[in-house]
Amino acid sequence: MPSDPDASPIDNIIALAQEITGECPACASRASRIVMWATEIRERRPGREELAALVDAAAKGSLPDDRREFLINGLQALVRFAE
């Protein structure tokens, strides 16, 4: 099965696990665990507070407020895009 270049890696993992389930009934329980983990990964995104804490820990107070906000907003966009 070729991966869809427009799909997220998580979508490709889920599709492959579903294909494994269809082709190998003995592997169905393992493949369903892969689907479950992939779904949990998709749903677990760091929130704004976690991203702010990351920026604050990395910058150690050296960023002006406007740049700090810009960086946090950029990280939020990156997290959304990464899915």
Is residue 57 within a helix (H) or strand (E), and if so which, with residue range? Answer: helix 48-59
Chain position carrying tokens 């070729």: 2
Does residue 51 contact residue 72 with C-beta atoms inside 8 Å? Answer: yes
Phi, psi of 61 (to 5 degrees): 80, 10
The pLDDT value given to residue 82: 65
Tell me what the mean pLDDT of segment 1-16 comes to.
71
Whole-prediction pTM value? 0.50
- Summarize pLDDT for 30-81 with one digit per residue, the tens: 888 888 888 877 777 778 888 888 888 888 888 889 999 999 899 888 877 7
The pLDDT value given to residue 6: 63
Phi, psi of 77 (to 5 degrees): -65, -40
Two tokens, residue 24: 């190998």
